[in-house]
């Protein structure tokens, strides 16, 4: 069965014991945490984690606890872990690559803190797998932590190209529990066989041609440098997400509309997706983009931003 082949391949690819697929990574995240967090346990989440992680944390048992640490702030994570030292189970969850910022989670420090506090680490690497790491295995591989992160979640709909689907990979006991108890898995449709086959082939291609991930990262870095040379300041990052902060929501939307009129599709994100006053345009580089494509896009972006009196930079 194609779904079983895909799940075995995901587990092998991420050096995990087992894996389970879902209709989306949203379903994977909302299906994982209610099963993982039992009575009295605590789930500790980065403040800028994806909305699917937030909803997954909200769905845990009433007698479990949710808490948040400031974005990528390891001193604050240590404080929160100390606060919950008496909890029977502690789970730290973070994005690998943050979808609205483009930065990488400080996973080595997270794993170190988790080990010292006997906590599990869950990483949603939807924007990392296929992009980051020497062979494209994501943020966890980038830091050399494939054997030390407990649970991986991710999507089949971004770099792996299927347009839909998600997964959880980790210890067999966790995956077996999800098969029996995870509601988005039990009470929803499976990934369509065509999507499963496409995702399986995408992973096989990445295994055969790991240099694709390096080529993509090089193109994303070239795009950042080109934007900077034209007076536009994107947020720093090592993945394929290149956000440029505008500030005002109305201005961000207007820039997005003008870019589309010029032939470039780039989405504007504003409150409540990002904080009030930190609206931004998010650009995403593809391995299929040529240098000429990136130069053309950067010039259009610079012209459009300058027309609206925007240059980017931190919010």
Active-site residue list: 99, 127, 158
What radius of gyration do the chain's Cα atoms show?
20
Spatial strand order in the sheet of 120-124? 18-22, 166-170, 151-155, 120-124, 90-95, 42-46, 65-69
Alpha-carbon distances of 26 from 32, 51, 128, 165, rounded to whole Å: 10, 8, 16, 9
Which residues on adjacent β-strands are paired with residue 283? 242
**CA torsion, ordered 181, 182, 185, 187, to nearest 10 deg:** 70
Tell me the C-alpha distance between 279 and 30, whole Å. Answer: 26
Task: Find the angle CA(55)-CA(167)-CA(95) to the nearest 5 degrees.
Answer: 55
Tell me the C-alpha distance between 300 and 303, whole Å. Answer: 5
3-state secondary structure of 144: coil
Tell me the C-alpha distance between 103 and 126, whole Å. Answer: 13
Given its phi and psi angles, is residue 313 left (phi above 0), alpha (psi -120 to 50 degrees) or beta? Answer: left
Q: CB atoms < 10 A from the CB of 2, how many?
A: 16
Given its phi and psi angles, is residue 265 left (phi above 0), alpha (psi -120 to 50 degrees) or beta? Answer: beta
Q: CB atoms < 10 A from the CB of 207, how many?
A: 14
């Amino acid at each position: 069965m194609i779904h079983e082949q895909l799940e075995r391949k995901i587990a092998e690819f991420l050096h995990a014991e087992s894996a389970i697929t879902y209709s989306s990574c949203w379903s994977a995240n909302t299906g994982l945490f209610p099963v993982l967090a039992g009575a009295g346990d605590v789930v500790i989440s980065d403040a800028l984690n994806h909305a699917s992680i937030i909803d997954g944390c909200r769905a845990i048992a009433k007698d479990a606890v949710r808490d948040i640490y400031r974005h990528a702030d390891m001193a604050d994570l240590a404080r929160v872990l100390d606060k919950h030292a008496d909890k029977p189970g502690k789970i730290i969850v973070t994005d690998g690559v943050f979808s609205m910022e483009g930065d990488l989670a400080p996973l080595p420090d997270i794993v170190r803190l988790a080990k010292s506090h006997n906590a599990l680490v869950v990483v949603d690497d939807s924007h990392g797998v296929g992009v980051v790491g020497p062979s494209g295995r994501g943020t966890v591989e980038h830091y050399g932590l494939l054997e030390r992160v407990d649970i991986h979640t991710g999507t089949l709909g971004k770099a792996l190209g299927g347009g839909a689907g998600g997964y959880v990979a980790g210890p067999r006991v966790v995956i077996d529990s999800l098969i029996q108890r995870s509601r988005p898995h039990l009470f929803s449709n499976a990934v369509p066989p065509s999507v499963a086959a496409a995702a399986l082939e995408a992973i096989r291609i990445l295994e055969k041609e790991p240099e694709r991930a390096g080529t993509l990262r090089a193109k994303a870095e070239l795009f950042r440098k080109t934007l900077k040379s034209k007076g536009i300041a994107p947020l720093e990052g090592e993945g394929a997400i290149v956000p440029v902060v505008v500030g005002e929501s109305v201005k961000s939307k207007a820039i997005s509309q003008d870019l589309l009129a010029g032939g470039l599709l780039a989405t504007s994100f504003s409150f409540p997706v990002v904080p009030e006053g930190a609206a931004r345009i998010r650009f995403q580089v593809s391995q299929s983009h040529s240098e000429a494509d990136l130069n053309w896009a950067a010039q259009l972006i610079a012209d459009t931003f300058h027309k609206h009196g925007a240059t980017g930079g931190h919010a």
